Amino acid sequence: MSAAVIVSKEALVSRRNSKVIALYLSVVFVMLAAIAVGVNRTNNFEAERAAAAQRDRDIWNDQGPRNAHKAAHFARYAFKPIPTLSSFDPGSIDYAGQAVWLVAHVQNPAEFRYAEGQGDLARFVTLSPAWVMQYIVPLVLILLLFGAYAGEREDGTLRQAMTHGAAPGVLFRGKLASASLSLLSLLLPISLFVLVAVFVFDKGASQSDLSLRLVGLFFTYGVYFAIYALLAIGVSALCSSRRTAAICLFVMWCMMTVLAPRFAADVAVTATPHPNGVDALKTIQDIRFGYMNNPEAQEQRKAEFLERYGVTKVEDAPVDFRSDFLLATEEYGNPLFDEYYAKIADRYHAQERSMQLLSVFSPTIPTINLSSGLAGADRYHHADFIAGAEENRRVTIRQLNEDLLYKGGKNAILYESDINLWRTIRDYPATMPSLGEFFPQYLKMFGILLLWAGAAFLFARWAAYRACNLEAVK
Amino acid sequence: MRQALVKLELLRLRKSPVALAVLLFTLLASLYAVWSGVIWREHHSAILSQHEARVDAAMEKWRQTLIAFEKDGVKPPPFFDARPGAIEKSMALGAAPLSHLAIGNTELLPTRLNVSPARDHITMVELYGFENPTVLAHGRFDLSFFLVFVLPLLLIGLSFDVIATDRTRGTLHLLLSYPVSLGKIIAARLLTRTGLLLLLAGLSTCIGIAFSGSAGLVPGALWLLVFLAYSLFWVSAIFFVVSFVKRSEVAVGSLVSLWVLVTLALPALANSAAEGLYPQPSKLAYLSDARTAKNEAWKHKDALTRQFLDDHPELSVGQGMENEYFRAMYFTNKMVLEKTAPIVAALDDSNRRRSELLDTLQFVSPAIIAQRAFFRVAGSDFDTTQRFTREGIDALSALNNELETAILSSTRISVEEYHKLPDFKFEHARSNSVLADILFPVLFLLITSVFLVIFGFAGNRK
């Protein structure tokens, strides 16, 4: 007996089972609803961002004649682009700020999080295709496969198949192949819907490496589902009845998909609490006024200023020393901000390391992280936005302060710039980073997922062979 | 007979390692949830105290400068010192007695305000949003999560085969030969199993409530009411399903599907419906409106000042007229408040409509009812955070009204006047108002449970 015979028998059973067809249709329906919700959200969010960015430019140009440093305090905003694939997986988009105020002297955190407006339902799940893939499809797999071996054993058909010459390996391959076929028959229409949504209806910020990301998502979910299918086959082979197999698998599903991610996040934040907002504000203020409170640094800067202009008194220089002072405050603060925000990033890393450690208990944790990363909706992509915004802030503030220094004359405080300067200030480019920038991080998560797949395969194979051998010696 | 059934069930539970594991897990997971919440509350309260201390210290310095100025009289302090425009009052959304049991929106929304005429309603919100979005997106494993999401699963795990095993083993007929109905057998077994589990979860809940001391007694009673109603719903749902379904794998499949529907799918659909029906006005558009207003105010501040002084010439005689820093800032903030009033009203309206929609939609899922009720009792619900922000804006207007004359005339206020300024404390909702909010949904849960039990008994008779 070959594996193909087993596959065709399983396919026949599935086709005749109206419950399986109803289950498929339900998943496809939920998926379609999730895609519609996801595309709608992404398009709305991106339209809001584009409108806000345009208004920010208009407001900036319309500020009228003003002292350039005053303009630096009014400043501009950088708005985070919403990636196309966030319609598939919104990841942490709702929980990360969408706008950064690029004001003089201060590096601000991002503000305006979408989740803030969601009300009491924010703590329930948000309907998205990724959520269906992460939570519902594994449950469907369990429902399809819990009887793979246990059912055959209970009905006595396992021994029957073996007497017809089906070796344990053939049976295992047959079960695996039929599980893969069932999965593919579900995933192919789903993938098609996702592709149509992404390429036709989605109006999110374009991702240059969209195809690569989609391939990555396909492989990630392929491995994820394979893990669940293998675990389901393995547990089914270990259990003597459908009942026990179903119970064990449901418990596993609950533990691995529902509890583990939330528990891991809670452990992470309990072990390494979120940055203290009051301390953060104090540090930011300390950095802001750091140069003003540091007479030594001021003296050194003054000496450099005098030397640069070949004068002995600041009043004799052709430019206003106060303009140079403003430049100095930024140059003094920038590395300190880098250092402080690096410390915060270390804290985030510590939290994420804790979560990664707990991936031992659940393949859903690395899958969630990998999926949101590939969709461009995770913290790494957010950090790229923050870094880009900060770079823009520094360039903008420097440009404004230099305008004051070089054009403001000896009494720059009275000098006013106009629209000619405002127009030269560049907009935040709002481009999406490429996947390659975070590749090592994602490779690590994918590695964890592959380890899970390897372990699940070995477990399923061992359990399947054991089941056949036990049946043979009965 | 019923006593015998209960005793037998207890004996079976004692001998079942799986059942003992489920009970142990219940105790440990619920205690962890309480502990994690307590740690969070301490961290959160420490931050709020730090905030208040910082503002108080700054204002004490401000006050001392003013006292010195009033005493000396002759030597005025520098222009910026002890100016009314620089007065700042802290306002915080403090932790309610049971906030550690349901962190809810408190982790997500602003909880610290700096009420000052030098700020508008956007800038008065103290800088926040330093949290890791990845961790934030997953949410917390607090007691409300445990009770709403995990407890039903444990109840299902412990009691889905309450009668199916007898059916498959063929011992059901033997059981029914005794003078007791099938419904009563199921009920006795179910209550024994779930009773133990609920007792352990209740014990953790009581420990959690005890962390709040006497302040937690009344809200604690409300919390227990919601806990019991929600648990009763699930026990009744299990009773209903096992009464109709004969095979245990079908029973567990049906119950897990019900759990997915009630705790995951329906809330997600409700969320999407609320978002679709009442989309929030763009916060980014709100920001743009505020910046446009600020721009306009700065551009026209001289004209605004002139216009004001035309109406109030008596205010043009203050000290320090050469520097209009605070006056200009005050005008700007006032204009921002006026110009953004329509979008703020639209945001409030959208929130109100969503809230009203949820008041109805919650009845499609007991999980929504339970979670909203837990958040409400713990003071971490969305409406509370919205009320906090609204009261913050009102506080700002009140402080502005008190100080407007002094700011516009560039004069200092006296120490006595300073002491008369109001403090702004946010009060959580009173327990009777919370009870009024949660009573009907909780009654709905109880009524649904009764119906499920009645239909379950009817199923058994068949």
Q: How remote is the C-alpha of B206 from its chain's centroid?
A: 20
**Backbone φ/ψ region at A355: left (φ over 0), alpha (ψ -120 to 50), beta:** alpha
Residue A340: pLDDT band by 50, 70, 90 thresholds? very high
Q: Please say whether the beta carbons of A49 and A169 come within 8 A.
A: no
Contact list in A for residue B295 (CB cut-off 8 A) is 59, 62-63, 74
CA atoms within a 13 Å half-sphere pointing along the CA-CB vector of B279: 10
Minimum distance, in Å, between the CA of residue A466 and any CA atom of chain B? 23
Q: Please say whether the beta carbons of A461 and A172 come within 8 A.
A: yes
d(Cα A210, Cα A199) in Å, to the nearest integer? 10
Q: How far apart are the first and last CA of chain B?
A: 22
Q: Which of B43, B153, B292 sits opposite A254 (nearest CB)?
A: B153
CA distances B416 to A246, A471, B421, Å, are 75, 93, 9
pLDDT, greater one: A276 or B176: A276
Pick from B108, B151, B249 the residue to mutate for testing the A interface (most A CBs within 10 Å).
Answer: B249
Please tell me what DSSP assigns to residue B113.
Answer: E
Q: Per residue in B347-389, pLDDT tens?
A: 888 888 888 888 888 899 999 999 999 999 999 999 999 899 9
d(Cα B37, Cα B208) in Å, to the nearest integer? 9
Q: Cβ of A151 under 8 Å from any chain B Cβ?
A: no
Taking CB atoms and an 8 Å limit, are A33 and B109 in contact across chains? no
Residue in A255, A446, A243 with CA at minimum distance from that of residue A356: A446
Burial B26-44 (b: 16+ CB within 10 A, else e): beebbbbbbbbbbbbbeeb
Contact list in B for residue A382 (CB cut-off 8 A) is 133
Residue in B356, B156, B141 with CA at minimum distance from that of residue B240: B156
d(Cα A174, Cα A191) in Å, to the nearest integer? 25
Taking CB atoms and an 8 Å limit, are B150 and A117 in contact across chains? no
Residues 6+ apart with CB under 8 A from A238: A245, A248, A463, A466, A467
Q: Which of residues 202-221 of A touch B (CB under 8 A)?
A: none
- SS3 letters across B298-342: HHCHHHHHHHHHHHCHHHCCCCCCCCCHHHHHHHHHHHHHHHCHH
Q: Cβ of A152 under 8 Å from any chain B Cβ?
A: no
d(Cα A327, Cα B439) in Å, to the nearest integer? 61
Q: Which of residues 268-307 of A touch B (CB under 8 A)?
A: 268-270, 273-282, 284
Contact list in A for residue B137 (CB cut-off 8 A) is 91-92, 94-95, 115
Q: Which of B39, B268, B284 sits opposite A99 (nearest CB)?
A: B284
Residue A172: pLDDT band by 50, 70, 90 thresholds? confident
Taking CB atoms and an 8 Å limit, are A112 and B287 in contact across chains? yes
- Residue A221, pLDDT above cutoff 90: yes
- Other C-beta atoms within 10 Å of B231: how many? 23
Mean pLDDT across chain A: 88
Question: For residue A83, what are the β-bridge partners?
Answer: A205
Residue-level pLDDT at A223: 94
Taking CB atoms and an 8 Å limit, are B382 and A126 in contact across chains? no
Residue B77: pLDDT band by 50, 70, 90 thresholds? low
Q: Which of residues 346-385 of A touch B (CB under 8 A)?
A: 347-348, 351-352, 355, 369, 372, 378-379, 382
Please tell me what DSSP assigns to residue B147.
Answer: I
Residue-level pLDDT at A119: 80
Residue A439: pLDDT band by 50, 70, 90 thresholds? confident
Question: For residue A102, what are the β-bridge partners?
Answer: A76
d(Cα A217, Cα A198) in Å, to the nearest integer? 13
Q: Tokens in use for B156? A: 């299902």
d(Cα A325, Cα A401) in Å, to the nearest integer? 9
d(Cα A262, Cα A268) in Å, to the nearest integer? 10
Contact list in A for residue B265 (CB cut-off 8 A) is 30
Residue-level pLDDT at A421: 92
Q: Which of residues 55-94 of A touch B (CB under 8 A)?
A: 55-56, 59, 62-64, 66, 74, 77, 79, 91-92, 94
**Backbone φ/ψ region at B91: left (φ over 0), alpha (ψ -120 to 50), beta:** beta
Question: For residue A99, what are the β-bridge partners?
Answer: A79, A111
Pick from B36, B138, B238 the residue to mutate for testing the A interface (most A CBs within 10 Å).
Answer: B138
CA distances A5 to A18, A188, B314, Å, are 22, 23, 100
Residue in A27, A118, A115, A184 with CA at minimum distance from that of residue B260: A27
Contact list in A for residue B41 (CB cut-off 8 A) is none
Kindly report the backbone phi and psi dihedral angles of residue A271, in degrees, each rounded to the nearest multiple of 5, phi listed first: -70, -40
Residue-level pLDDT at A235: 93
**Residue type, position A441, single letter:** Q
Residue-level pLDDT at B434: 94
Taking CB atoms and an 8 Å limit, are B351 and A119 in contact across chains? yes
- Residue B323, pLDDT above cutoff 70: no
Residue B304: pLDDT band by 50, 70, 90 thresholds? low
d(Cα A410, Cα A422) in Å, to the nearest integer? 22
Kindly report the backbone phi and psi dihedral angles of residue A108, in degrees, each rounded to the nearest multiple of 5, phi listed first: -90, 155
Q: Which of A250, A267, A273 sits opposite B43 (nearest CB)?
A: A273
Contact list in A for residue B132 (CB cut-off 8 A) is 269, 274, 347-348, 351-352, 379
Average pLDDT of the segment spanning A336-361: 93
Q: Which of A59, A127, A242 sits opposite B269 (nearest CB)?
A: A127
Contact list in A for residue B158 (CB cut-off 8 A) is none
Q: What ipTM describes this predicted complex?
A: 0.88
Q: Which of residues 225-244 of A touch B (CB under 8 A)?
A: 242-243
Taking CB atoms and an 8 Å limit, are A277 and B367 in contact across chains? no
Minimum distance, in Å, between the CA of residue A163 and any CA atom of chain B? 28
Q: Per residue in A357-413, pLDDT tens?
A: 999 899 999 999 999 999 999 999 999 999 999 999 999 999 999 998 888 887 777
**Residue type, position A226, single letter:** A
- Other C-beta atoms within 10 Å of B23: how many? 19
**Residue type, position A81, single letter:** P
Q: Per residue in A77-125, pLDDT tens?
A: 999 999 999 999 999 999 999 999 999 999 999 988 988 888 877 777 7
- Residue A155, pLDDT above cutoff 80: no
d(Cα B20, Cα B329) in Å, to the nearest integer? 66
Residue-level pLDDT at B82: 79
CA distances A77 to A133, A257, B125, B190, B382, Å, are 36, 38, 18, 59, 28
Lowest-pLDDT range of A84-93, A239-248, B230-239: A239-248
CA atoms within a 13 Å half-sphere pointing along the CA-CB vector of B126: 27
- Residue A17, pLDDT above cutoff 80: no
Q: Please say whether the beta carbons of A70 and A326 come within 8 A.
A: no
Average pLDDT of the segment spanning A171-193: 85
Contact list in A for residue B247 (CB cut-off 8 A) is 243
Burial B294-328 (b: 16+ CB within 10 A, else e): bbbbbebbeebbeeeeeeeeebeeeebeeebebbb
User: B55: nearest CA in chain A?
Assistant: A278
Residue-level pLDDT at B37: 94
Taking CB atoms and an 8 Å limit, are A250 and B135 in contact across chains? no
Contact list in B for residue A247 (CB cut-off 8 A) is 157, 160-161, 248-249, 252
Longest dimension (CA), chain B: 104
Average pLDDT of the segment spanning A183-212: 83
Taking CB atoms and an 8 Å limit, are A243 and B298 in contact across chains? no
Contact list in A for residue B130 (CB cut-off 8 A) is 109, 274-275, 277, 280, 344
User: A369: nearest CA in chain B?
Assistant: B134
Q: Tokens in use for B5? A: 């059934």
Residue B18: pLDDT band by 50, 70, 90 thresholds? confident
Residues 6+ apart with CB under 8 A from A376: A83, A84, A85, A86, A207, A213, A432, A433
Taking CB atoms and an 8 Å limit, are B140 and A266 in contact across chains? yes
Mean pLDDT across chain B: 86
A-B interface: how many C-beta pairs under 8 angstroms?
254
Average pLDDT of the segment spanning B6-30: 85
pLDDT, greater one: B318 or B275: B275
d(Cα A329, Cα A320) in Å, to the nearest integer? 15
Residue-level pLDDT at B321: 46
Q: Which structural domain, as residue segments, surrounds residue B309?
A: 1-462
The total number of structural domains that make up chain B: 1
CA distances A444 to A347, A356, A367, A370, B222, Å, are 19, 10, 12, 10, 47
Taking CB atoms and an 8 Å limit, are B284 and A282 in contact across chains? no
pLDDT, greater one: A263 or A314: A263
Contact list in B for residue A30 (CB cut-off 8 A) is 265
Residue-level pLDDT at B363: 92
User: B36: nearest CA in chain A?
Assistant: A270
- SS3 letters across chain A: CCHHHHHHHHHHHHHHCHHHHHHHHHHHHHHHHHHHHHHHHHHHHHHHHHHHHHHHHHHHHCCCCECHHHHHHHCEEEECCCEHHHHCCCCCHHHCCCEEEECCCCCCCCECCHHHHCHHHHHCCCCCHHHHHHHHHHHHHHHHHCCCCHHHHHHCHHHHHHHCCCCHHHHHHHHHHHHHHHHHHHHHHHHHHHHHHHHHHCCCECCCCHHHHHHHHHHHHHHHHHHHHHHHHHHHHHCCCHHHHHHHHHHHHHHHHHHHHHHHHHHHHHHCCCCCHHHHHHHHHHHHCCCCCCHHHHHHHHHHHHHHHCCCCHHHCCCCHHHHHHHHHHHHHHHHHHHHHHHHHHHHHHHHHHHHHHHHHCCHHHHHHHHHHHCCCCHHHHHHHHHHHHHHHHHHHHHHHHHHHHHCHHHHHHCCECHHHHHHCCCCCCCCCCHHHHHHHHHHHHHHHHHHHHHHHHHHHHHHHHHHHHHHHC
Average pLDDT of the segment spanning A431-435: 86
Q: What percent of chain A has pLDDT over 70?
A: 98
Q: Cβ of A158 under 8 Å from any chain B Cβ?
A: no
d(Cα B58, Cα B425) in Å, to the nearest integer? 18
